[in-house]
Amino acid sequence: MSPRGRHAARRLLLQALYQNQIAGHDSVELRRQFDDSDEFSTADSAYFHLLLDEILDDTDVLDQHIDALADRPVAQIDPVERAILWIGMAELGAHPDVPVKVVINEAVEIAKEFGAQDSYRYINAILDKASGELR
């Protein structure tokens, strides 16, 4: 799938992971909801499903990595920022085919679009540190 398809998958993944944190939706419910959305037709569906499963299976491990690198406990990180960090950490740790620069740039761009003001700087700093450990 094209880079645009992966970008669309990451954007949808952010929304799915946010819903998981806020409403407790599990993988089955999230798949049902997002697979039926109009936006899903432009996304790399295989990549969305792969990352969704990897992240939801490893949230505790991802949170431990974030906790070690962040300036505050992961529980205090905004759910949008946390979801973006989960995506970036999962890609850094399990997808060496995706260049570090792409992982960080995608996370920063999504944070600029969906995150709080200047959250992209925070995400950039954490993922930059993580890239040295996970790659």
Q: What is the pLDDT of residue 48?
A: 98
Label residue 80 exposed, middle or buried (CB < 10 Å: 0-12, 13-18, 19+): buried
Q: Which residues contact 4 (CB under 8 A, 6 or more apart)?
A: 42
Give the number of other Cβ atoms within 10 Å of residue 12's Cβ.
23
Residue 77 domain boundaries: 3-134
Burial string for 83-116 (b: 16+ CB within 10 Å, else e) reads bbbbbbbbbbbeeeeeebeebbebbbebbeebbe
pLDDT given at position 2: 84
Amino acid at 51: L
Give CA torsion, residues 6, 101, 84, 123, to 10 deg.
-160
CB-based contact 51:91 (threshold 8 Å): yes
CATH of the domain at 73: 1.10.940.10
Please give the pLDDT value at position 135. 87
- Quote the number of domains for the chain: 1
Q: Which of 77, 70, 68 is nearest to 17 (CA)?
A: 77
Query: In this structure, are residues 13 and 51 in contact, taking their beta carbons and an 8 Å threshold?
Result: yes
Which pLDDT tens digit goes with each residue over 78-99?
999 999 999 999 999 999 999 9
Query: Which residue positions in the chain have pLDDT lower than 50?
Result: none
Q: Which long-range contacts (CB under 8 A, 24 or more apart) does 95-102 make?
A: 96/135, 100/131, 100/135
